Structure 1
Amino acid sequence: MRTVQGRTDHVVVVGAGLAGLSAALHLLGAGRRVTVVERDLHPGGRAGRIERGGYHFDTGPTVITMPDLLADTFAAVGDSMEARLELVPLHPAYRAAFADGSTLDVHTRPDAMEVEVERFAGARDALGYRRLRRWLENLYRAQMGRFIDTNFDSPLQLLAPDLARLAALGGFGRLDARIGRFVRDERLRRVFSFQSLYAGLSPSRALAAYAVIAYMDTVAGVHFPKGGVHAVPRAMANAAADAGATFHYGHAVTKLERTGERITAVVTDRERLPCDAVVLTPDLPVTYRLLGRRPQRLRALRHSPSAVVLHAGTDRTWSGLAHHTISFGAAWANTFRELTRTGRLMTDPSLLITRPTTTDPSLAPPGRHVHYVLAPCPNTDIGPNTAMWQDLGPRYRQNLLTELDRRGLNGIAASIEQECLVTPADWARQDHAAGTPFSVAHTFSQTGPFRPRNVVNGTENAVLAGCGTTPGVGVPTVLISGKLAAARIVGGHRPATRPPMRANTARSTAEPVPAAAVTGTPQGEVLRASRSGTP
């Protein structure tokens, strides 16, 4: 594994999102002195927070999967996730609602899910679900150590027994077809394949290997932190500060000073920070601009679809909603063509509706509710550009509310007391390439050793982390990216992995970031309303 040579005593981490905080904790655990620089006034990055009128809106991810990976980041400094956060397992993980009026509660416990599948689709698909679950587990085991949790220096690293094992499992076939070998009901196939959208691909074009995302959602378990997902980066930042990290909030990085191929200092709009190494977590265009170079690729990077998100604080809710509800439109294949090829807004939208106050009522005033409505949309490379969204945004908001009312959320428009609409134009203002928070798509040529690497030729002591680099998009993989970045700097040192956590054992102390850890914080709004994102 290629590692940073020379001194690495003091590392500056640019960005206090989940990737940067993960890197900071693993670096601290390996004995490095760490300074974290963040342009916003609080940690979180894409996992941010908007507060309006007593409503607390998570701006990015809405759940935590693979909590053991999160626990490892705390364990890196001898800390405990359970002492910092209370994670509540969600049962069901989510509810799927279909255009024909049917619903399916998706459980991660096998017996409960088998009973639900039999009720929904019959005994044959219930048996198929059992086989599908075993396949997902085997697929995860084949990929995790060799293809996900690893630093690639060459595609030749793929030539290992696990590659043959992945091929034998059908990982290089098409996702939709492989899922169809286990369950025949078309609605069930959607439940176990829609996750490919996170990777920027339709199920008919995605490799079956991407079913590992469905494993995380439908097998490993889905959790929600008390205090919202934004409580996670706050807890990580607290742990890092307690372990000795220094945080500089409200500082925008403007330049990287270098001598030859080494970065010698990180310069912000307020100060100069000498360093021995640097971890860069901004989106790739920002990172490459700071480095003054980018890797040579035969083809331009292709980005994932974007999303419109309506954060709504309401004076009522609707009994048909679970914590997470996926409302599928009747169209399916056409939806993916619109999102990834033609660049049209969905004519028959499939929507994610999240009601976090189902699990944590404290996120809204008494008797009120928070609803998060995510509508996938084309990114600005192939769909409406940022200027077009200025007029399109309000019209699309009205279309969404009309469609939600038609799907059973009657009176939703009139129920809204506080809201924030986020469109691709907002993502673009946050320096997300192609106006998408989901970064570079996971096409075959942009996955594993073919994804933009976390080291850059021509710079000896800069390492990348975040969803644009290895291993990719999503909370679990972004946490891993921070660990992999730290390993590049400390020479492969990896803190011991703790045993798997047991559900319902966590305690809640997601306290505020200590003031002593913050330097140079400007006055003003705590969090810009447009500061939104998804890791």
Structure 2
Amino acid sequence: MTAVVPGRTDHVVVVGAGLAGLSATLHLLGAGRRVTVVERDMRPGGRAGRLDLGGYRIDTGPTVLTMPELADEAFAAVGDSLYERVELIALHPAYRACFADGSTLDVHTDAEAMAAEVERFAGADEAAGYLRLRRWLRDLYRVQMRSFIDVDFDSPLSLLHADLARLAALGGFGRLDARIGRFLRDERLRRVFSFQALYAGVPPARALAAYAVIAYMDTVAGVYFPKGGMHALPRAMADAAGDAGAELRFAERVTSLERSGQRITAVITERDRIPCDAVVLTPDLPVTYRLLGRRPRRPVRLRHSPSAVVLHAGTDRTWPHLAHHTLSFGAAWRGTFDELTRTGRLMSDPSLLITRPTATDPGLAPPGRHLHYVLAPCPNTDIGPAAASWGELGPRYRASLLAELERRGLDGIEAAIEEESLVTPASWHADGHAAGTPFSAAHTLFQTGPFRPRNVVRGTENALLAGCGTTPGVGVPTVLLSGKLAASRITGRPPRRAVRTRSAEAIRATASMSEIATKEAPA
């Protein structure tokens, strides 16, 4: 049985109005709790923030939305609906993959469309292999979601159930790269279904095959974009929470927690004392442990995921070969992961994610202008350049990135930039993220499931953790689940999946209308 906070839990203070904190807030409100949300920034979002720069509306955090039903589940807890508050657009293709040999592949989440694209790209045998891979990914997802992701663990013994054997039978404890290779022989295709391991902070050659569940979310379940940008999601969640009775306090930093024995009795901010019966803490782990005045004992120090350099560029032109999301792969692969996770060097032949949100929502930029987001994975500050060195290194790396983009067909990109923002590991470090990475602790075997930092705190009976540093882990879907799991520890309600979700057909219809509008808009 899952441990539940003992005693009164009538009033809960949630520290942080990011996706995890807002998810926890909505689930707590739905269970009849009074909730106060305290956020240091001027607006909700946390990592999913917004930067307004010269008329460009820039998402500062995640750019990929998958599994929107998990967000809708939080809205449904208070009788609300994600789909009534946010216009979601299904992306077709979900990604465009561009390879060093000049070949391109559009990644579709529809089975028939993707099989046809794979056959065009690599032949009929690979198309058949893709369909077998798709079935395996779906089976893997079903087993993991119900028993390993959307669940609270109290000890490693919680793993001992029938689905552990099912996961083993599916090959979940083998290596990701090798397992994908059983279905696909083309090395380029294998990259498309294994690069997601980088989100988990582990190279595909060393990652467990179980992490292919992330590829399921990206390549099978569908990729979406909220009109108005990704920040529209936390903004809508905050509006729903406010309408349901939550007190939202922005621009107010938490400085300490007041304690009586094993209970937190109040949250202290820069200007107030807020009494509480329980608290949900969503900042990055170092900040959370500092507030608690203690950290859990671990036999081995936490290993962190690689970081990233992000260039946000508002431009006076765009490049037609870019989709909404474009994966630009270098020729190197295994060596790239060694640089990111072992040697601590910047990628010598980078693989990049280029997002062009104005391809779907032109209103994110001034008329006739375009917004580009270039993400280059880089080593975290534990193994790579220190945060202090990025003041000098950042501009040089920006220049090398732009030169590389020019070589890859984005001719004239530097001259096209009107507004820009460069984010480096120093930026993440300044925001309080351990090891200068927004991707938190890596999902190694002993930092996953019951071995990941728990959402309960030893010696503090009414404090819960939520966010990417705790269970289930990194990524928008799992962060939303972390808020729900933390709430369930307070309310005693078992975490279970909502059944009320919008049909895929309805979302696809919205996407079709958006595609027509986008095609008719002037370039």
Q: TM-score per shorter chain, which class? A: over 0.9
The whole-number CA distance in structure 1 between the counterparts of 2:494 and 2:98 is: 46
Q: Does 1:32 align with 2:42?
A: no
Instruction: Report the alpha carbon displacement of residue 493 of structure 1 after superposing the two structures with TM.
Output: 4.8
Q: Contact 1:227–1:362 (CA<8 Å) still a contact in 2?
A: yes
2:149 matched to which residue of 1?
A: 148
Within-5 A mapping of 1:243-262: 243-262=244-263
Offset from partner CA, 1:3-30 (integer Å, 9 cap, x none)? 1000000000000000000000000000
2:419 matched to which residue of 1?
A: 418
Within-5 A mapping of 1:473-512: 473-494=474-495, 497-503=498-504, 505=506
The whole-number CA distance in structure 2 between the counterparts of 1:193 and 1:224 is: 22
Offset from partner CA, 1:244-266 (integer Å, 9 cap, x none)? 00011011110000000000000
Instruction: Report the alpha carbon displacement of residue 63 of structure 1 after superposing the two structures with TM.
Output: 1.9
Q: Does 1:263 align with 2:255?
A: no
Instruction: Report the alpha carbon displacement of residue 289 of structure 1 after superposing the two structures with TM.
Output: 0.7
Instruction: Report the alpha carbon displacement of residue 502 of structure 1 after superposing the two structures with TM.
Output: 1.8
Q: Contact 1:76–1:496 (CA<8 Å) still a contact in 2?
A: no
2:389 matched to which residue of 1?
A: 388
Which residues of structure 1 form unaligned runs of 5+?
A: 509-535
AA paired with 1:212? V
1:460 matched to which residue of 2?
A: 461
Q: Does 1:450 align with 2:451?
A: yes
AA paired with 2:460? T
Offset from partner CA, 1:210-234 (integer Å, 9 cap, x none)? 0000000000000000000000000
The whole-number CA distance in structure 2 between the counterparts of 1:190 and 1:496 is: 31
The whole-number CA distance in structure 2 between the counterparts of 1:495 and 1:105 is: 35
Give the match's secondary structure for 1:125. helix
1:169 matched to which residue of 2?
A: 170
1:203 matched to which residue of 2?
A: 204
Offset from partner CA, 1:500-535 (integer Å, 9 cap, x none)? 322464699xxxxxxxxxxxxxxxxxxxxxxxxxxx
The whole-number CA distance in structure 1 between the counterparts of 2:27 and 2:111 is: 34
The whole-number CA distance in structure 2 between the counterparts of 1:58 and 1:167 is: 39
The whole-number CA distance in structure 1 between the counterparts of 2:166 and 2:134 is: 17
1:284 matched to which residue of 2?
A: 285
The whole-number CA distance in structure 1 between the counterparts of 2:220 and 2:366 is: 34
Aligned length: 508
The whole-number CA distance in structure 2 between the counterparts of 1:52 and 1:167 is: 49
Give the match's secondary structure for 2:198. helix
The whole-number CA distance in structure 1 between the counterparts of 2:495 and 2:443 is: 26
Q: Contact 2:448–2:472 (CA<8 Å) still a contact in 1?
A: yes
Q: Does 1:329 align with 2:351?
A: no
AA paired with 1:311? H
AA paired with 1:236? M
Q: Does 1:232 align with 2:225?
A: no
Q: Does 1:180 align with 2:181?
A: yes
1:518 matched to which residue of 2?
A: none
The whole-number CA distance in structure 2 between the counterparts of 1:156 and 1:254 is: 37
Which structure's residues are more often helix, by fraction? 2
Give the match's secondary structure for 1:263. strand
AA paired with 1:365? P
Offset from partner CA, 1:382-406 (integer Å, 9 cap, x none)? 0000111000000000000000000
Offset from partner CA, 1:151-198 (integer Å, 9 cap, x none)? 000100101000000000000000000000000000000000000000
Q: Does 1:427 align with 2:422?
A: no
1:57 matched to which residue of 2?
A: 58
1:516 matched to which residue of 2?
A: none
Alpha carbons of structure 1 residues 170 and 57: separation in structure 2 relative to 1, 3 Å:
same
2:515 matched to which residue of 1?
A: none
The whole-number CA distance in structure 2 between the counterparts of 1:269 and 1:227 is: 32
1:223 matched to which residue of 2?
A: 224
Offset from partner CA, 1:403-440 (integer Å, 9 cap, x none)? 00000000000000000000000000000000000000
1:124 matched to which residue of 2?
A: 125
The whole-number CA distance in structure 2 between the counterparts of 1:346 and 1:275 is: 47
The whole-number CA distance in structure 1 between the counterparts of 2:234 and 2:501 is: 21
**Greater relative contact order (Cα < 8 A, sep 6+):** 1
1:213 matched to which residue of 2?
A: 214
Instruction: Report the alpha carbon displacement of residue 492 of structure 1 after superposing the two structures with TM.
Output: 2.3
2:347 matched to which residue of 1?
A: 346
Alpha carbons of structure 1 residues 496 and 152: separation in structure 2 relative to 1, 3 Å:
closer
Alpha carbons of structure 1 residues 497 and 101: separation in structure 2 relative to 1, 3 Å:
same
The whole-number CA distance in structure 1 between the counterparts of 2:407 and 2:357 is: 22
The whole-number CA distance in structure 2 between the counterparts of 1:268 and 1:405 is: 48
Q: What TM-score comes out, normalization by structure 2 length?
A: 0.96
Q: Contact 1:30–1:493 (CA<8 Å) still a contact in 2?
A: no
Q: Does 1:469 align with 2:470?
A: yes
1:86 matched to which residue of 2?
A: 87
2:109 matched to which residue of 1?
A: 108
Give the match's secondary structure for 1:16. coil
Within-5 A mapping of 1:303-314: 303-314=304-315
The whole-number CA distance in structure 2 between the counterparts of 1:433 and 1:496 is: 31
Q: Contact 2:151–2:495 (CA<8 Å) still a contact in 1?
A: no
The whole-number CA distance in structure 2 between the counterparts of 1:168 and 1:499 is: 31
The whole-number CA distance in structure 2 between the counterparts of 1:424 and 1:504 is: 40
Instruction: Report the alpha carbon displacement of residue 141 of structure 1 after superposing the two structures with TM.
Output: 0.6
**4+ long deviations beyond 4 Å:** 493-496
Instruction: Report the alpha carbon displacement of residue 94 of structure 1 after superposing the two structures with TM.
Output: 0.4
Q: What TM-score comes out, normalization by structure 1 length?
A: 0.94
1:99 matched to which residue of 2?
A: 100
Q: Contact 1:29–1:495 (CA<8 Å) still a contact in 2?
A: no
Q: Contact 2:24–2:486 (CA<8 Å) still a contact in 1?
A: yes
Give the match's secondary structure for 1:383. coil
AA paired with 1:117? V
Q: Contact 2:150–2:496 (CA<8 Å) still a contact in 1?
A: no
Q: Contact 2:150–2:495 (CA<8 Å) still a contact in 1?
A: no
Which residues of structure 2 form unaligned runs of 5+?
A: 511-523
The whole-number CA distance in structure 2 between the counterparts of 1:109 and 1:70 is: 22
1:515 matched to which residue of 2?
A: none
Q: Contact 1:75–1:498 (CA<8 Å) still a contact in 2?
A: no
1:8 matched to which residue of 2?
A: 9
